[in-house]
Structure 1
Amino acid sequence: MTAPGRSDVRRRLPKPRHLVGLSLTAVPLLIAVLGPLIAEPAVRGPAFTLGENWLLGTDSEGRDVLTQLLLGGRPLVLVATAAVGLTYLLAVPWGVAAATTRRRGVDEALMRPLDLLLSLPSMMLLLLVVALTDADTVVLAVTVAVLLFPDAARLVRACALHAAHTPAMEALRLQRETWWRRGIGYLGRSLLPVLAADAGLRFVGAIYLVASASFLGLTADSAGTDWAVMIDRNRSGIALVPWGVVVPAVMIIALAMGVNLLFDAGARAAIRQSSPKDPT
């Protein structure tokens, strides 16, 4: 048994960009998860006021900005995360089915409806659906997932096409393996690097859509504690109390950048694991 070399130790150490991504992601996530548990009711004051009782000042309704910040992350993060999870739950089997079928008609039947969804303006559909359902949180998550689904399914199909017609897949067919083991088991492993890199982009897209809906007033939170809602409602007093706009905006930006850096690192790790090892 040989001791690990310096190169192996260096590979195992976290790289600076990984630490940056982890830090950028951890701060807004911790605030989103733990914020509602530690937030305390604050005394209201005059709108857009900085004072001893309000560390970050008050918002447009005289509420403590710090308290609203602690309460405002969870809805945004939960809806975006649920939307991305549902997107891949639909897109991976859909794209793999289109890539592995031997019938062109089936492939066309699966992919052409996606072109119709891609042609619809995302914000228009989001506004219409959420407005008709009184901004229900579940409906918002499902709507965002539907909007992200066509791009994700097309990406999965494009990446799976080559691997779907390799000798290994033919061998699995001859062995009468189930479609789930062939498509999701074998092809799923080959798709991991691409999906890991794409997941960060999808999450940022989900954050953008959910924040846009909240920014336009389509939110189920009547108290208006969503980070995007904070930016919208406090922008008129940015010259007096900038923290009501700056801090929630920084949280959204940090979360988007951090998640992308982490998924980028995950994609690189998946590529290294799936690449053939040097026999020497």
Structure 2
Amino acid sequence: MLGPLLAGEPGPRAASFTAGGGHWLGTDFVGRDVWREVLLGGRSVVLVALTATALAYLVALPLGLVSALTHRTWLEELLMRPLDVLLAVPSLLMVLLVAAVFTPGAVGLALLVALVNIPDAARIVRAGAAEAASRPAVEALRMQGETWWRTAVGYVGRSTTRVLAADAGVRFTGVLYLVATAAFLGVGVEPDASDWAVMVDRNRTGLFVQPWAVVVPALLIVALTMGGNLLVDSALEHRKKYGIKYGTKQGMKHRSKGRPS
């Protein structure tokens, strides 16, 4: 995310696929400095992937919660069956079909990737919320006249946070690879854009001449996906270890000692 601030101004272009000459990682297919392109190319990938993941959950959360809490079968069918139809279409195929009709930019690509992830995310939300919705506490809240918002979000929604957090790490990985694949195929980005996936695509012809232009952005995409999953797993394990989520005695004891929670 901070790469563009460190990239500096572009220098004079050198010959294509050359190493050395003041360029740490050599030059790319049009003579641009690979190191500078690497610094510039991560922001677009991260922003589009994060935006698409957030938009998918923004729609999937209310759909899943309403479906899990409603007692009207027709409403549940109305909400979930269209999502099952979308789920049957491969994500990449849908992206390519839409891209064949119009050319999406970065915003359009984020919306498109979010759309293809909504069905699966909604099913995960519904599955996690259904178990919490069947607890006696939900019936007690209804008998007390609590609002739907307090029941759905305040209790059921909070009960599903651990499931959603685990799913978010895996979903971000899938979204990131879908965004990178779309960019690799030229969807949502310019052919010569400073983007890690575009760098892999455009420089692969010189892989055996100047491999850094392909290897470095490819490794960074892999590192980003693995790092995201490890970060989520670590956070979940930390919450489980100290009982922070459920307010257990272990968690209270840990906090009372002044340790970071």
TM-score by length of 2: 0.90
Deviation, structure 1 residue 269: 3.6
Partner of 1:219: 188
| Alpha-carbon displacement from aligned partner over 1:193-250 (angstroms, at most 9, x marks no partner) | 1111111111111111110111011133353211001001111111111110111011
- From 217, 234, 244, the counterpart of 1:273: 244
Deviation, structure 1 residue 128: 2.2
SS state at 1:273 partner: coil
Partner Cα separation in structure 1 for residue 200 and residue 99 of structure 2 = 20
Partner Cα separation in structure 1 for residue 48 and residue 5 of structure 2 = 19
| Unaligned 5+ runs, structure 1 | 1-32
| Unaligned 5+ runs, structure 2 | 254-261
8 Å contact kept, 2:40–2:195: yes
Aligned identity (percent) is 52
Q: Which amino acid aligns with 1:37?
A: L
Q: Which amino acid aligns with 1:180?
A: W
Confirm or deny that 1:149 pairs with 2:118. Answer: yes
Partner Cα separation in structure 2 for residue 183 and residue 77 of structure 1 = 31
**Runs of 4+ more than 6 Å apart:** none
Deviation, structure 1 residue 38: 2.0
Deviation, structure 1 residue 167: 1.3
8 Å contact kept, 1:231–1:244: yes
Deviation, structure 1 residue 146: 0.9
- From 258, 263, 270, the counterpart of 2:227: 258
Partner of 2:38: 69
8 Å contact kept, 1:231–1:248: yes
Query: How many residues were matched structurally?
Result: 248
Partner Cα separation in structure 1 for residue 141 and residue 237 of structure 2 = 28
SS state at 2:64 partner: helix
8 Å contact kept, 2:67–2:126: yes
Instruction: Rate the CA distance shift 1:54–1:278 in 2: closer, same or farther, 3 A.
Output: closer
SS state at 2:217 partner: helix
Confirm or deny that 1:246 pairs with 2:215. Answer: yes
Deviation, structure 1 residue 54: 1.2
Using CA pairs under 8 Å that are at least 6 residues apart, name the structure with larger relative contact order, 1 or 2.
1
Aligned CA-pair RMSD: 1.7
- From 147, 157, 165, the counterpart of 2:134: 165
Deviation, structure 1 residue 278: 5.3
SS state at 1:172 partner: helix
| Alpha-carbon displacement from aligned partner over 1:22-48 (angstroms, at most 9, x marks no partner) | xxxxxxxxxxx1111221212211110
Partner of 2:3: 35
Deviation, structure 1 residue 131: 3.9
8 Å contact kept, 2:109–2:187: no
TM-score by length of 1: 0.84
Partner Cα separation in structure 2 for residue 102 and residue 261 of structure 1 = 38
Partner of 2:256: none
Partner of 2:145: 176
| Alpha-carbon displacement from aligned partner over 1:96-132 (angstroms, at most 9, x marks no partner) | 1100011111111111111100111211210122343
Q: Which amino acid aligns with 1:69?
A: V
SS state at 2:54 partner: helix
Partner of 2:105: 136
Partner Cα separation in structure 2 for residue 238 and residue 222 of structure 1 = 18
Partner Cα separation in structure 1 for residue 234 and residue 80 of structure 2 = 30
Confirm or deny that 1:54 pairs with 2:23. Answer: yes
